[in-house]
Amino acid sequence: MSTHYELGKTGEDQALENYLERGYNLVIKNFQYYRDGRAGRLGEIDLILEKNNKLYLVEVKTRSDNSFGSPQEQVTKSKLMYLYKTWQYFILKNPKYKSYFCQFDLVSITGKKLEIIQNAYNFDSLSS
């Protein structure tokens, strides 16, 4: 039986392989946001990919089954806020991507089923 960490890493690897097979380029895996003077990580984006001058922020949710709800249900408004702040930090550290259109995809893996939900979330909804 694999640990929660191993299950998540395996899911991220599967998602990355799927994107790479479809011509996307990996920019960075597991980009983490730390703010100076504060202990602990404030956010992480599982995969940041690029294709045709467009960035794809990918959150990967891997579950062995749906007994605790679907992977999509695990992405709460507060999780989206952390992803948004992490994306802003990424742009600050990598200004060459500032003009790129950005899309947020969710990869849901349950058991052996991998589903990509393109443009799954919109950061505009965070301001309301």
Closest CA to 117 of 63, 125, 109, 24: 109
Helix, strand, coil abundance in the chain, percent, nearest 5: 35, 35, 25
Q: Which fold has domain 4-121?
A: Trna Endonuclease; Chain: A, domain 1 (3.40.1350)
Q: What is the pLDDT, as a whole number, of residue 125? A: 60
Q: What is the pLDDT, as a whole number, of residue 76? A: 77
Q: What is the pLDDT, as a whole number, of residue 121? A: 79
Mean pLDDT by 10 residues, the chain (128 residues): 69 93 97 72 89 94 71 76 89 93 90 87 63
Rg, Å, the chain Cα set? 15
58 close to 19: Cβ distance less than 8 angstroms: yes
Domain boundaries, the chain: 4-121
